Structure formats: structure tokens, C-alpha cells
Amino acid sequence: MQRQTTIAKAQEIQRKWYVIDATDKPLGRLVSYVAQVLIGKNKPTWTPNVDCGDYVIIVNAAKVGLSGDKLHNKKYYNVSGYDGGLRTRTAKEMIEKFPCEMVERSVHGMVPKGRLGRQIEKKLFVYAGPDHKHDAQKPEALELKF
């Protein structure tokens, strides 16, 4: 008897909504787990060329944890394209002023690049505080195991 591999079809995918509290969670571990859920690798029906993942809401992004001295040593770079247009920010500045962007950048580094990756990233919603506006979707709380 020959085994059949199940190929997921975009129309048949059941998506759930999850909410994750980022308070005192290590940024790298949090984001790698979130990326797996967004991509859908935690599901048995995962298919590489189909967006199989679920929606993820991250709250309390301003309270995410960084180990070691990353708060002062880790740098985030933006380049405008003009001469002298390099802007450098430390992780401490990012957490204080742009906590959502810091988490979104981290997730961006862990999802596939290209058209499918941009589609996957649209299912991520990050909020600096404890409130979010997705109560109508009835998100389930997702506990991390670390």
C-alpha cells in the first residue's frame, strides 16, 4: 500500500486566533515560537508553499525580556539611502519608543522571505500594552513552555 502525503489547500485551512503575553519572556524564544505558529509548522497539515498558519496577537511587547547586556549592546539599523543616512538605535531605545517594531522586526527575520512571507506577517498583531482590539475573534491564550 502506498502512503499519500496530504497537501493543504488554501480554501480548506482552519485558522485560529491566539494571544500571547510577552511579559518577561526572552525575545528570541518568544519570536521563534510565534514564527512557527504564524507559518503553521505546528500543524500536521503544514505545506511549504501554502500559508497554513494561525493569527497571533502579542500583548505587553514593551515588557519583553532581553538576556545579558543586549539592552545596551544590541543595535538596530536603518539606512535612508542618502550619504550619512545611517540611523542606529540601541535595544533600550527601541523598547522605550518602538516596542512593537522591535518584536515585528524579530519575527520578520524568522519567516520566509518573498510573497508568502509578507502574507504570513500580516497575521501578526503586536501591542505595547495589555489591551488589544481583537476581542470579537475570541482569541485563545497561548502559554509558552519556557
Mean pLDDT score across all residues of the chain: 95
pLDDT tops 90 at residue 37: yes
End-to-end CA distance of the chain: 41
User: Measured between alpha carbons, how far is 43 from 36 in angstroms, rounded to an integer?
Assistant: 9
38: part of which helix (H) or strand (E)? helix 27-39
Give the integer Cα–Cα distance in Å for 78 and 93. 14
pLDDT for 88-138, tens place per residue?
999 999 999 999 999 999 999 999 999 999 999 999 999 999 999 999 999
Q: pTM score, two decimals?
A: 0.93
Is the domain 16-65+97-141 a CATH 3.90.1180.10 member?
yes
What does the pLDDT read at residue 6?
A: 81
Distances (CA, A) of 89 to 1, 55, 84: 59, 29, 15
Distance CA 15, CA 1 (A): 32
Segments making up each domain of the chain, as ranges: 16-65+97-141
Q: Which three cell numbers stand for residue 110?
A: 524568522
Nearest to 98 by CA among 132, 142, 51, 64: 64
